Amino acid sequence: MKKFLTFTFLIFFLQLAVVAQQAQRPDPQPAPETKENFKLGVAGYTFHKFDLQTTLETLKRCDVHYLCIKDFHLPIESTDEEIAAFHAKCAEYGVKGYAVGPLYMRSKEDIDKYFEYAKRVGVNTIVGVPNYDLLPYVEEKVKEYGFFYAIHLHGPDIDIYQDADEVWEKTKDLDPRMGMCLDIGHDTRNGKDPVADLKKYHSRVFDIHLKDVTGTTKLGYSVEVGRGIINFPAFVKMMREVNYTGVISLEHERNMDNPFMGIAESIGYFRAMIVATR
């Protein structure tokens, strides 16, 4: 009888242990980019029809922690108190503003204003689009402030800085902190290969805009990442090969009145590529 009771209790406790083990569901895995040298972010222009609150809520849902700040979320004329409040709000959602821009610079006054703005915001990278003739003055400011200056390329939509080749040609003899924001969608729409361009120009790539497009000409347009023609497995591998340590930020330019599903799809696809290419 004693052996029977001992055996019964043993079975009972084993069953409890099995039930308890089954009840311990695993925690969510960290974002795939956590183990990479690069970081995943979002370009503020993605939310140009939405306020900062909506932007931060979306980033939190997507587990994204880096934001390139646009001036419609933090105006150029912001006071120091307003800038501090902006950063505090971002911190509530686990988000860091890592750069400002794109900012279009058409005069020396613009350049002075925007460099001082970046200094007050507390970032060390400006994504900018200066007139060609202003590049020497931008270089002066880069040396004065110690900032990185990433020229945003725009493909065939505007007449200046259409692709990575052009930005390289315009900056290769200037201060090494002057380079590009490699917009892989616009680069592709100008007939270029962003994978090859990252390999060639990585020493001057200080920011990357993540997007996908449907074609290699101006007729191509933005789609959710993974639905276009860009070779993302190759691009992720190239970021590792060149040891890109900056941010690659989604700049979603589709269904901008209601972009949220496209944002989530694009971030999810890109993260899948990070895992699949390891």
- Cis omega (within 30 of 0) on the bond before 102? yes
Residue 276 main-chain phi, psi, to 5 deg: -65, -25
Q: Map 110-173 to HEC letters.
A: HHHHHHHHHHHHCCCEEEEEECHHHHHHHHHHHHHHCCEEEEECCHHHCCCCCCHHHHHHHHCC
What is the value of pTM for the model shown? 0.91
Q: Quick one: fold of 38-276? A: TIM Barrel (3.20.20)
- Taking only the tens of pLDDT, the chain with its 278 residues reads 555 445 454 454 445 455 455 568 888 889 999 999 999 999 999 999 999 999 999 999 999 999 999 999 999 999 999 999 999 999 999 999 999 999 999 999 999 999 999 999 999 999 999 999 999 999 999 999 999 999 999 999 999 999 999 999 999 999 999 999 999 999 999 999 999 999 999 999 999 999 999 999 999 999 999 999 999 999 999 999 999 999 999 999 999 999 999 999 999 999 999 999 99
d(CA 212, CA 194): 11
Would you mind telling me the total number of residues written for the chain in this entry? Answer: 278
272: enclosing H helix or E strand: helix 260-276
Report residue 78 as tokens.
């912001």
DSSP count for the chain of H helices, then E strands: 10, 10
3-state DSSP helix/strand/coil percent for the chain, to nearest 5? 50, 20, 35
